[in-house]
Amino acid sequence: MTVLRRYPALAALLLGAAAACGFAPLDWWWLTLACLAGWMWLVHDAPTLRQAAWRGWAFGVGHFTINDNWFQHAFDFQDKMPPVLGYVAPLALALYLAVYPAIAAALAWRMRRPAIDTAFVLLFAAAWILTEWLRSWVFTGYAWDPLGVIWLGLPVNDVALLGRDIGTYALSGLFVVTAGALLLLVTRRRWPLAAALVALLAVQVVRGFGDVPDSDTRDGPTDPRVVTVQPNVAQDQRGDSDQAMMLARLTRLSGRPGAAPRLVLWPEGVIRDFIEDDYPTWIYGATSPYATRARMASVLGPRDLLMTGGTALHFDRGGDVASAANSVFLIDPRGRIRWRYDKAHLVPYGEYLPMPWLLRPLGLSRLVPGDIDFIPGPGPRTLDLPAFGPVGVQVCYEIIFSGHVTDRAHRPQLIFNPSNEAWFGTWGPPQFLRQAQLRAIEEGLPIVRATPNSNSSVISADGEVLGVVPHHRAGAIDLPIPPAHLPTPFARMGNAMAAIVGAMLVAIAFAIRRRPR
């Protein structure tokens, strides 16, 4: 405690950096709990509101710099900006993201008492829920790695299944409560820790009575199957690869038609040829869109369908390319495009450059190759597919936004999440997978992911990974389509559940402080 008191800002910075190790791939959840407890003590010990916010900001800088270290790898594939900027980018982003822990720390400090008590812990957790939710949408949002996802890294992750009831941000609040219980134990107030442990054990019991029944249990030999393909193409090979060779690899891995109808799923970022008709002829080069689609459809039987990532172009009245869309196309056995989904939640600085009038003269560019910005689609959409039922799509980054991954007016029974994580290093892909698992739990829906070279997977509606193609391997997963659950409480109410939990924590905290001593 003496070292913490002597250099509080430095201590908060180091605690935040170490706390990032609780996420995948390290999963040192116990270290995150200890670091959060130490940081909460630092905040409580701050002499002024400004000092409390400063310690919160320092914690956030350390935390987000380490957590987002995979950013650096993305700059290795950008010709217009030097790779050295990749070492600056995580820190630059962290300087902004740290504002949210600073706000949480300031709110908690404002409600503190001279001694650390249970109410302080509960109020801190409520403040964290609020600020993590704010981080998910302010300035288009950056919802990467909420604390709640760490529950999936525990040896027994039943607490994560509470996500179907309360959602991700409330799960983050429970993680803060658990860290606070550890802090209370260290400060010799033992009963709150016991209460927290009893509550966590109760979750195990309650879960047995609260499981959501499956809406379907199709698993016969002629029932629909899903095939997700990972061709194992690295980002630095994607642009130079021969598209005919890539199609050959994808079609080979897709298998052959059988008795059961198959939904074949290909990743984002591997089909570079334009496959829509009616573009100017100079767009296509030597390969016609019809020939490309025919090659793709060659893997399909009469009842099969193919969904693949690709790029759609928009033209102005003069016939010039005006913008592009990061799209998913549905291809039928005759090689026809039956449907298209355009990604709605684009990555700032990745798929478009904010304030181009300012940043382009400074030599900055977006990370996705090309000079034309992508434009967003209308948002989550569901398509009813013969033999497969309603299917939703979330492209790559979209899957991290809790409460925004389905069309609530037309609930899907499966979510397809094509992604390109080939430029995310070794930390990004496993973190992406964990967040997709949490979305499956929240919505009670299976999620199938297809990526070029990292953790393509089939995830059950309980968040269990039923099959995965490991990082840097080529392969495919062929499984019966996992059953969906009936709509979960979170699927019905969304992030209002986080607000309810946060309000309950505040109410309990004030009730504790008002009780007769």
Q: What are 372-421's pLDDT values in tens digits?
A: 778 999 999 999 999 999 999 999 999 999 999 999 999 999 999 999 98
In a domain, 198, yes or no: yes
The predicted structure's pLDDT at residue 463: 96
For residues 309-316, average pLDDT: 93
Residues 312 and 373 in one domain: yes
15 & 136 share domain: yes
Residue by residue, DSSP assigns 303-340 as T-EEEEEEEEEEE-TTS-EEEEEEEEEEE-TTS-EEEE
Fill in the amino acid letter for 206: V
pTM reported for the whole predicted model: 0.92
Closest CA to 335 of 302, 309, 308, 298: 298
Judgement on whether residues 282 and 371 belong to the same structural domain of the protein:
yes
- Per the domain annotation, does 221 fall within a domain? no
255 in a structural domain: no
SS3 content of the chain, % helix, strand, coil (to 5): 45, 15, 40
- Nearest alpha carbon to residue 415 among 246, 239, 263, 271: 263
Identify whether residues 341 and 192 lie together within a single domain. Answer: no
Residue 120 reports pLDDT greater than 70: yes
Contact 129, 498 (CB under 8 A): yes
87 and 178 together in one domain: yes
Asked whether residue 208 carries a pLDDT value surpassing 50, the answer given is no
CATH number where 419 lies:
3.60.110.10
Cα(121)–Cα(283) distance, integer angstroms: 59
Instruction: For residues 274 and 129, state if they share a domain.
Output: no
Residues 314 and 345 placed together within one structural domain of the fold: yes
Amino acid 352: pLDDT = 63
* Residue position matching structure tokens 């309810």: 500
Positive or negative torsion for Cα 425, 430, 432, 433: positive
Q: What is the DSSP string of 228-262?
A: EEE----HHHHTTS-HHHHHHHHHHHT----SS-E
Residue 309 phi, psi (nearest 5): -70, 155
| φ and ψ of 319, to 5 deg | 85, 5
**In terms of domains, do 459 and 310 share one?**
yes
The reply to whether 317 falls in a domain is yes
One domain, residues 326 and 418: yes
**Total of domains in the chain:** 2
Q: Residues 281, 414: one domain?
A: yes
> Domain check: are 37 and 57 in the same one?
yes
For 382-392, write each residue's pLDDT tens digit: 999 999 999 99
Q: How many helices and strands in the chain, by DSSP H and E?
A: 19, 12
DSSP for residue 419:
-
For residues 204 and 326, state if they share a domain. Answer: no
pLDDT in tens, 435-490: 999 999 999 999 999 999 989 999 999 999 999 999 889 999 999 999 999 999 99
Range of the domain at 109: 2-212+495-514
Spell out the residues 6+ positions from residue 247 whose beta carbon is closer than 8 angstroms to its own. Answer: 292, 295, 296
Residue 517 has pLDDT above 80, yes or no: no
Tell me the pLDDT band of 70, cut-offs 50, 70 and 90. Answer: confident
